[in-house]
Amino acid sequence: MTEDSFRSVEIERTSLGNYVVRNVRGGSVSLGAGEDASFTPVELLLAAIGGCTAVDVDHITSRRAEPTEFAVAVTGDKVRDEAGGNRMRNLRVEFTVTFPDGADGDQARAALPRSLQQSHDRLCTVSRTVELGTPVAIVDTAEATRP
């Protein structure tokens, strides 16, 4: 793993069921259990899936024309599977994108379906990781320092 490929966030507890997530660039977002306006972990997962594809599609199509509308809705069902564990299914990312009339808008409209497919098939790290599946290691580092 190279320094360029490494990604991380840190999560700090602010109170029972409430946290702040920070990235290395100084950005932060509130995270909670769904009892206030903070995002839940599942909502952040949905945002990550939609946001990743949105960034890809926006960069590709906006080279041709600035969109007049660019909205993404991400939905899914949280279910308990046969093994008794929680997971998401029926994930759906729906784009509503419009471009101005004219040749540039026509080029952007023509690029939209391909950009959506490219993001899904190879560009969006988040949705590809979800679809392909990646093991997650849970580590208690405090355990190593306990007497």
Superfamily for the 40-133 domain: K homology (KH) domain (3.30.300.20)
Per-domain boundaries in the chain:
1-39, 40-133
Q: Quickly state the pLDDT bin for 144 (edges 50, 70, 90).
A: low
Q: How far is CA 123 from CA 54, 100, 117, in A?
A: 11, 26, 9
Rounded to an integer, what distance in angstroms lies between the CA atom of residue 17 and that of residue 99?
42
CB 72 within 8 A of CB 93: yes
Distance CA 52, CA 123 (A): 9
Is residue 147 over pLDDT 70? Answer: no
The whole-number pLDDT of residue 29 equals 96
Write out pLDDT tens, residues 120-140. 999 999 999 999 999 999 999
What are the structure tokens assigned to 111, written together? Answer: 């690029």
23, pLDDT greater than 90: yes
pTM higher than 0.85, yes or no?
A: yes
pLDDT tens digits along 73-93 = 999 999 998 887 999 999 999
Per 3-state DSSP, the chain is made up of helix, strand and coil in percentages (nearest 5) of: 35, 30, 35
The confidence band for 25, taking pLDDT boundaries of 50, 70 and 90, is very high
